[in-house]
Structure 1
Amino acid sequence: MTTFGLETAQISRLASAVVSRHDAVLDDAGAAEIFARASWTGIAEPGDGVAGVLVSHIGAPRALTALIEGWKPDRLGAVLIEAGGDSVSSRDLSLALDRWRPRLVSNAAISALRQAALVSSRLLLPDDPLWPQGFADLGVHAPLALWLRGVNDAVGSLGTSIALVGARAATGYGEHMAMEFGAGLSDRRICVVSGAAYGIDGMVHRAALASGGLTVAFLAGGVDRFYPSGHDALLQRISTVGAVMSELPCGSPPTKWRFLQRNRLIAASSRATVVIEAGHRSGSLNTAAHASSVGRPLGAVPGPVTSPSSAGCHRLIREFDATCVTTVDEVVELAGGLLGDSPTELDLPYAGEGDRLPPEQLRVLDALSVRAARTSIDIARRAGIATTTAEGVLGMLQLDGLATENDSGWRKTK
C-alpha cells in the first residue's frame, strides 16, 4: 500500500517519530497528515498565502496529492471553490504551482523527518492543543505546521507571553534593560519570547533562564541547525527548559526573507511586543510592524536622545503610537490591552543588505552565492519561486549591479 507514492508503512514510521502528542494513536490518516504538513513546510516559503488557502480548505494531504499528480490550475481552483474556500485566480494558482514544483522532492521531506527525529524535534499541527492561538490572526499567512524542540509548558504559555526584541548591536544600556525586563517578567511567571539573535534577543533569553522562567525562541531556519552559531549553547539550553520553534523543516538555512517572516510569529504568538533598543532602521522594527498588523499592543523603551541605538524606539513612540514603557510593571500593563483597540499599522523597513528590494528580488538575492555559480533552476528552487520568475528577477538584479552571469551560472556581486 502506498501514500504519496511511498510505502504507507514508511510514512507511518517517519510520522510516529515526530508526533507531538506521545499519547496520540496514529492511524494511516494521521500519519499522512503529519507527512503532508511536514512536506508543505519545505515546499512553500513561510507566509505563502496561496498555500495557506489550499491547505486550510482541502487539507494538506489532498493538496500534496494535487501537486504530485500535476493538477492544472483550473481543476485545483474548482476543487477549492467546491470545498468552500476563498476564490484564488487561475493565474495565482499557476504561479504558485510553478514555484512549488521545483521543491517537490520526496527525499527532502523524508530527510527532514529523519533529521528531526535525530534531534528529538516534534511537529506541531494546528489542531494540537498546544498550537499558539494567536496565529489565527495571521489568517492564510499562518504557519502550516511548527517544528519544535522543547517542553510543553513553554509552548503552552505562549498565550500569555510577551515578546521582547531589539537590535543586534546593543549598547550596555540596552542590555541592562533587556536583563531587567527578561528577569522581571520571568519573576512574574510570564513567558518571554524573542528571536535568539545577538544583542538584545540573546540577553532577554539569558535573563529569563537565569531567573528560572520560561522562554521561547523562534528561528528563521531549521531547529536542527541553531543560528547564530555563537548562540548554540544558549539555544541548547532553551530547547531543554523552554522551546525552540520554526516553521521551516530541519536542514533549512536562514535567509533575510525568512527572518522577515519569522518576525510575524514572534509578534502573533505573544500578547504584546516591546522593542527595547533599536536603531532607526533596525530589523526589530519589522517585528513591531507585524505586531501592529495583528492588533497586538506595542511598546518601546526610550533611551538617550543622543543615542542612535534608541532612534528606532523614539520613532515608534513619536510616529506610530507605541506606548513608552520604562518598567516591568508598565510592560505587564501594556499586555493587559490598555493600548486601545485600533493600533496604527506600521510600514517600516528591515535593516541590512537589500532591505528596500521587493520581496521576490530579496529572495533571489538570498539564493545567490558570492563564490559558487548557480543555475536559474537551482536559484528558483532555493528562493521558492517559479523558474521564469527567477530568470526575470535575475535580469533586474544584473541591471542593478547586484548579480552577474557567466558560463557557469549566476553569482552575487557583493
Structure 2
Amino acid sequence: MTGAAGPDGGPLGRAFLARVLEPGDEVGGRWLREFGVEEVVRRLRDGGRPLPGVSGVRWSGLAARARAADPERDLETAGAAGVRFVCPGDTEWPAQLDDLGDARPTGLWVRGRPSLRMWALRSVAVVGARACTAYGAHVAATLASELAERGWVVVSGGAYGIDGAAHRGALAAQGATVAVLACGVDRPYPRGHAALIGRIAEQGLVVGELPPGDHPTPSRFILRNRVIAALTRGTVVVEAACRSGSLATGRAAQRLGRYTMGVPGPVTSALSAGVHELLRGEAVLVTDAAEVAELVGAIGELAPARRGPVLPRDLLEPAARSVLAALPGDRAASAEEAARGARTSRDEAIARLYELRALGYVERHGDGWKLTRQAMISVRQGRRPC
C-alpha cells in the first residue's frame, strides 16, 4: 500500500470504493474520471444528492453500502494476510489495465512477492472450461509449462478444469503464474483449490478486485475475465463450450486489441465448439507454446516451420524421381515405357534407372525394370520412398 492522500483519497478512498462499487461498474468509473476519488467518496458517504447516471433506488443501495464500508479495517485485514492494495498511479500498477477505460478496477488486492506490473509485461492468459476433458487438461498443462520455460507468465482464473491445469503446468516448470480471483484474495475460491492457490501465492501472485472476505457471484466471474484479458498480451482459450464463461475472456481480449488464440479440438466435442466459433472469427489457431510466443513475443520469436520427415526420395534428383514414378507397381516395364511416363529420352531414362538400381529402388528383370521389394513395401504402407 502506498501513502494515503487525505482521509478519502489515495489508497484509503479507493479501498472504500472497492467495497461500495461492483467490479466493472462503468458509471462509477465515469464518476472517478469526472469528479475524482475524494469527491465521489464524499458524495457516497453523505448519501444526499445522487451523482449523475443512477436511479434513486440504485443510489440508495450504494449509500447503504457506503455506510457499512470500513476501508481502514479492510486494509488492516489485508496487511495481516500479506496482501497489499495496488492503485492506479502506483509504481506497481500495470498500465495496460487503463485500456479498460471507465471499467478499470478501482484498485487490485495483490498477494505474493513479485511486482505485478513487471510480470504483466510478459504474460499470456490460458483459460477454458471448468468441466474439461483429459485432452483439454493435458493441452493446458503442457502449453503453460512450455510458456513458463520460455519466460512467459501464465495468467488464469484459479478455477477447476483448464485454469487449474494451466497453473499447475507453470508451477511444475518452476515458472511464473498469476491467479486472478473473483473474490477476496484472502479467501481462495474454489475451496478445493485452496492448496493450489496457496502455492501460487508462494511462487507467484494472487490478484483480485474485491476486498478481503468478499465472496464470488456469477456476474463477478464474468467481470473478472476482463481483468485477465487486459492484464495480458494475449489470451489462449484451450477448451470451451458455446456458453462457457471463458469465451468472455477471449472476446474481451479482442475488444482490447489483444491477441486472441484458440486450441482446436475434436469437431464432435461440445467442449471445443466455443473455441471453434472463436476460430471462425478473428482468433488465431495455435497448438503449442512456440506458436503462442510467435504471436505475442518480440519480432523474430518465430515458431519452427512444420515439415514432415525427410524421406529417401526427397534426396533424389527431379529427373530420377520422375523415372521412379513412371514405373508400375505390379510388373516390370521397359526403359522405353519408363521414358514415356517420365517424358524424357530413352537414354536419359536408362541412365536414371541404373542410378535407381544402385540406390536400391529398382532391379533388372530380363529386358525390363521393376520396383524392388523394399520399394513395394513402402508403396503398400503409403510411404513410397519419398
Q: TM-score scaled by structure 1?
A: 0.68
What SS is found at the alignment partner of 1:105?
A: helix
Which residue pairs with 2:288 in the alignment?
Answer: 327
Which residue pairs with 1:57 in the alignment?
Answer: 34
Give the alignment of 1:102-141 within 5 angstroms.
Answer: 102-106=64-68, 108-141=70-103
What SS is found at the alignment partner of 1:29?
A: coil
User: Offset at 1:29?
Assistant: 2.8
Indicate if the aligned counterparts of 2:45 and 2:67 stay in contact, CA closer than 8 A: no
Which residue pairs with 1:250 in the alignment?
Answer: 212
Indicate if the aligned counterparts of 2:112 and 2:202 stay in contact, CA closer than 8 A: yes
> Alpha carbons of 1:96 and 1:57: their partners in 2 closer, same or farther (altered >3 Å)?
farther
User: Offset at 1:334?
Assistant: 2.1
User: Offset at 1:224?
Assistant: 1.0
Matched, 1:46 2:23: yes
Bigger Rg, which one: 2
Indicate if the aligned counterparts of 1:50 and 1:96 stay in contact, CA closer than 8 A: no
After the TM superposition, list the runs of 4 or more consecutive aligned residues in structure 1 that deviate by more than 4 angstroms.
93-96
Alpha-carbon distance in structure 1 between the residues aligned to 2:85 and 2:116:
15
Q: RMSD of the TM alignment (CA)? A: 2.0
Alpha-carbon distance in structure 2 between the residues aligned to 1:32 and 1:281:
40
Which residue pairs with 1:66 in the alignment?
Answer: 43
Give the alignment of 1:297-312 within 5 angstroms.
Answer: 297-312=259-274
Alpha-carbon distance in structure 2 between the residues aligned to 1:122 and 1:285:
30
User: Offset at 1:266?
Assistant: 0.3
Give the alignment of 1:393-404 within 5 angstroms.
Answer: none
Alpha-carbon distance in structure 2 between the residues aligned to 1:230 and 1:106:
31
Alpha-carbon distance in structure 2 between the residues aligned to 1:138 and 1:174:
30
Q: Which runs of 5+ in 2 are unaligned?
A: 300-386
| Amino acid aligned to 2:17 | W
> Alpha carbons of 1:107 and 1:41: their partners in 2 closer, same or farther (altered >3 Å)?
closer
Which residue pairs with 1:79 in the alignment?
Answer: none
| Amino acid aligned to 1:224 | D
Which residue pairs with 1:369 in the alignment?
Answer: none
User: Offset at 1:107?
Assistant: 5.1
| Amino acid aligned to 1:295 | G
Tell me how many residue pairs correspond in the alignment.
299
User: Offset at 1:152?
Assistant: 2.5
> Alpha carbons of 1:107 and 1:203: their partners in 2 closer, same or farther (altered >3 Å)?
same
- After superposition, the C-alpha distances for 1:357-388 in whole angstroms (9 at most, x for unaligned) are xxxxxxxxxxxxxxxxxxxxxxxxxxxxxxxx
Q: Which of the numbers 147, 151, 155 marks the counterpart of 1:189?
A: 151
Which residue pairs with 1:277 in the alignment?
Answer: 239
Alpha-carbon distance in structure 1 between the residues aligned to 2:226 and 2:298:
19
- After superposition, the C-alpha distances for 1:132-164 in whole angstroms (9 at most, x for unaligned) are 121111100100000110122454211221000
| Amino acid aligned to 2:62 | W
Which residue pairs with 2:106 in the alignment?
Answer: 144
| Amino acid aligned to 1:330 | E
Q: TM-score scaled by structure 2?
A: 0.73
Alpha-carbon distance in structure 1 between the residues aligned to 2:292 and 2:251:
18
Indicate if the aligned counterparts of 2:86 and 2:93 stay in contact, CA closer than 8 A: yes
User: Offset at 1:186?
Assistant: 0.5
Alpha-carbon distance in structure 2 between the residues aligned to 1:93 and 1:64:
18
> Alpha carbons of 1:284 and 1:28: their partners in 2 closer, same or farther (altered >3 Å)?
closer
Deviates more, 1:183-192 or 1:27-36: 27-36
Alpha-carbon distance in structure 2 between the residues aligned to 1:237 and 1:31:
35
Alpha-carbon distance in structure 1 between the residues aligned to 2:16 and 2:94:
21
| Amino acid aligned to 1:52 | G
> Alpha carbons of 1:315 and 1:129: their partners in 2 closer, same or farther (altered >3 Å)?
same
Alpha-carbon distance in structure 2 between the residues aligned to 1:151 and 1:193:
16
Alpha-carbon distance in structure 2 between the residues aligned to 1:333 and 1:201:
22
Alpha-carbon distance in structure 1 between the residues aligned to 2:61 and 2:288:
47
What SS is found at the alignment partner of 2:76?
A: helix
What SS is found at the alignment partner of 2:71?
A: helix
Alpha-carbon distance in structure 2 between the residues aligned to 1:68 and 1:108:
11
Q: Which runs of 5+ in 1 are unaligned?
A: 1-18, 21-25, 77-89, 339-414
| Amino acid aligned to 2:268 | T
Indicate if the aligned counterparts of 2:148 and 2:170 stay in contact, CA closer than 8 A: yes
